[in-house]
Amino acid sequence: MQESRPLAPVLCLPVYEDPFSDAEFAREERERVEAYQQLATVTTVEELAAALLQRAAAEAEAARGRAGEVADASELAPKKANADLKRDLERRTARLERKTMAAIDELIHLTIRLVNRI
Protein backbone atom coordinates (compact mmCIF):
# COMPACT_ATOMS: atom_id res chain seq x y z
CA MET A 1 0.00 0.00 0.00
CA GLN A 2 1.27 3.43 -0.82
CA GLU A 3 2.24 5.81 1.90
CA SER A 4 -0.09 8.78 2.26
CA ARG A 5 1.44 12.14 1.75
CA PRO A 6 0.27 15.18 3.67
CA LEU A 7 -1.67 17.75 1.73
CA ALA A 8 -0.82 21.41 1.87
CA PRO A 9 -3.72 23.39 3.30
CA VAL A 10 -5.12 25.55 0.53
CA LEU A 11 -7.99 27.95 0.92
CA CYS A 12 -9.58 28.97 -2.39
CA LEU A 13 -12.57 31.18 -1.93
CA PRO A 14 -14.45 33.10 -4.61
CA VAL A 15 -14.19 36.87 -4.38
CA TYR A 16 -17.38 38.93 -4.55
CA GLU A 17 -17.79 42.69 -4.49
CA ASP A 18 -20.49 42.67 -1.80
CA PRO A 19 -20.90 39.09 -0.52
CA PHE A 20 -23.10 39.94 2.47
CA SER A 21 -25.79 42.07 0.84
CA ASP A 22 -28.42 39.34 1.12
CA ALA A 23 -28.94 37.38 4.35
CA GLU A 24 -29.44 34.03 2.59
CA PHE A 25 -26.39 34.54 0.42
CA ALA A 26 -24.35 35.54 3.50
CA ARG A 27 -25.41 32.39 5.36
CA GLU A 28 -24.50 30.19 2.40
CA GLU A 29 -21.18 31.99 2.05
CA ARG A 30 -20.37 31.46 5.74
CA GLU A 31 -21.21 27.75 5.41
CA ARG A 32 -19.01 27.51 2.33
CA VAL A 33 -16.11 29.22 4.14
CA GLU A 34 -16.48 26.89 7.13
CA ALA A 35 -16.48 23.86 4.83
CA TYR A 36 -13.32 25.05 3.07
CA GLN A 37 -11.65 25.71 6.41
CA GLN A 38 -12.50 22.19 7.58
CA LEU A 39 -11.05 20.74 4.38
CA ALA A 40 -7.91 22.87 4.79
CA THR A 41 -7.09 21.13 8.09
CA VAL A 42 -6.96 17.69 6.43
CA THR A 43 -3.46 16.19 6.31
CA THR A 44 -3.86 13.01 4.21
CA VAL A 45 -5.68 11.99 1.07
CA GLU A 46 -7.74 9.44 3.02
CA GLU A 47 -8.93 12.10 5.45
CA LEU A 48 -9.78 14.39 2.55
CA ALA A 49 -11.83 11.65 0.88
CA ALA A 50 -13.66 10.91 4.13
CA ALA A 51 -14.35 14.62 4.72
CA LEU A 52 -15.66 15.14 1.18
CA LEU A 53 -17.85 12.04 1.45
CA GLN A 54 -19.25 13.21 4.77
CA ARG A 55 -19.91 16.70 3.37
CA ALA A 56 -21.65 15.30 0.27
CA ALA A 57 -23.84 13.07 2.44
CA ALA A 58 -24.79 16.03 4.63
CA GLU A 59 -25.64 18.17 1.59
CA ALA A 60 -27.74 15.37 0.09
CA GLU A 61 -29.60 14.94 3.36
CA ALA A 62 -30.23 18.69 3.56
CA ALA A 63 -31.49 18.72 -0.03
CA ARG A 64 -33.90 15.89 0.75
CA GLY A 65 -35.15 17.78 3.79
CA ARG A 66 -35.74 20.98 1.79
CA ALA A 67 -37.42 19.24 -1.12
CA GLY A 68 -39.60 17.03 1.04
CA GLU A 69 -38.97 14.04 -1.20
CA VAL A 70 -36.13 12.08 -2.73
CA ALA A 71 -34.06 14.17 -5.12
CA ASP A 72 -33.64 11.90 -8.14
CA ALA A 73 -32.76 13.18 -11.61
CA SER A 74 -34.96 10.58 -13.32
CA GLU A 75 -38.00 11.84 -11.43
CA LEU A 76 -37.27 15.44 -12.38
CA ALA A 77 -36.88 14.78 -16.11
CA PRO A 78 -40.00 15.33 -18.21
CA LYS A 79 -41.60 12.17 -19.56
CA LYS A 80 -42.57 13.80 -22.85
CA ALA A 81 -39.00 14.55 -23.95
CA ASN A 82 -38.41 10.94 -24.95
CA ALA A 83 -41.33 10.99 -27.39
CA ASP A 84 -40.13 14.29 -28.85
CA LEU A 85 -36.64 12.90 -29.31
CA LYS A 86 -38.01 9.78 -31.00
CA ARG A 87 -40.11 11.84 -33.39
CA ASP A 88 -37.14 14.06 -34.32
CA LEU A 89 -34.94 11.02 -34.77
CA GLU A 90 -37.48 9.34 -37.05
CA ARG A 91 -37.61 12.44 -39.25
CA ARG A 92 -33.85 12.60 -39.52
CA THR A 93 -33.37 8.89 -40.12
CA ALA A 94 -36.08 8.62 -42.81
CA ARG A 95 -33.72 10.11 -45.36
CA LEU A 96 -30.91 7.82 -44.22
CA GLU A 97 -33.19 4.78 -44.47
CA ARG A 98 -33.98 5.60 -48.11
CA LYS A 99 -30.28 5.97 -48.89
CA THR A 100 -29.47 2.75 -47.04
CA MET A 101 -32.11 0.80 -48.95
CA ALA A 102 -30.85 2.25 -52.25
CA ALA A 103 -27.27 1.22 -51.36
CA ILE A 104 -28.38 -2.31 -50.42
CA ASP A 105 -30.37 -2.54 -53.66
CA GLU A 106 -27.32 -1.45 -55.66
CA LEU A 107 -25.10 -4.00 -53.90
CA ILE A 108 -27.58 -6.79 -54.65
CA HIS A 109 -27.71 -5.80 -58.33
CA LEU A 110 -23.90 -5.67 -58.52
CA THR A 111 -23.65 -9.10 -56.90
CA ILE A 112 -26.17 -10.56 -59.35
CA ARG A 113 -24.26 -9.07 -62.31
CA LEU A 114 -20.97 -10.49 -61.01
CA VAL A 115 -22.50 -13.94 -60.48
CA ASN A 116 -23.99 -13.92 -64.00
CA ARG A 117 -20.57 -13.11 -65.49
CA ILE A 118 -18.95 -16.15 -63.92
**For 14-36, b where at least 16 C-beta lie within 10 A, e where not — what string?**
eeeeebeeeeeeeeebeeeeeee
Answer for the pair 13, 43: CB distance below 8 angstroms, yes or no: no
Residue 18 confidence (pLDDT) above 60:
no
- Report the pLDDT averaged over residues 28-46: 77
| Residue 63: predicted pLDDT | 72
- Domain regions of the chain by residue span: 1-76, 78-118
Residue 61's Cβ-count burial label (10 Å; 0-12, 13-18, 19+) is exposed
Taking only the tens place, the pLDDT of each residue in 55-97 is 888 878 777 766 555 556 665 555 666 777 777 888 888 888 9
| Residue 94: predicted pLDDT | 85
Residue 49 confidence (pLDDT) above 90:
no
| Residue 35: predicted pLDDT | 74
| Residue 67: predicted pLDDT | 57
| Residue 102: predicted pLDDT | 93
pTM of the model: 0.30
Taking only the tens place, the pLDDT of each residue in 99-116 is 999 999 999 999 999 998
| Residue 52: predicted pLDDT | 79
